[in-house]
């Protein structure tokens, strides 16, 4: 598994669970899921570090 595959893993798994090919037309869905996952992770990290 390469670094890019590891970073895109949450969105890829979400697309596979829904039954959509993440490499095809569902690229935006994978991007959306990854954005939401990493937004939550980043906000939690900032909250822990700042507060």
pLDDT digits (tens, 9 = 90+) for 1-51: 899 889 999 999 999 998 988 888 778 899 999 999 999 999 999 999 998
CA end-to-end distance (rounded Å), the chain: 35
- Neighbouring C-beta atoms of residue 26, cutoff 10 Å: 20
The contacts of residue 7 (CB under 8 Å, 6+ apart) are 34
pLDDT of residue 33: 93
What is the Cα–Cα distance from 43 to 32, expressed in whole angstroms?
Answer: 16
pLDDT of residue 34: 95
What is the Cα–Cα distance from 31 to 17, expressed in whole angstroms?
Answer: 15
pLDDT of residue 35: 95
pTM score: 0.80
């Amino acid at each position: 598994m390469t670094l890019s595959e590891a970073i895109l893993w949450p969105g890829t798994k979400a697309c596979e669970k829904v039954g959509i090919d993440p490499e095809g037309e569902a690229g935006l869905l994978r991007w959306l899921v990854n954005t939401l996952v990493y937004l939550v992770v980043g906000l939690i990290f900032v909250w822990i570090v700042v507060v």
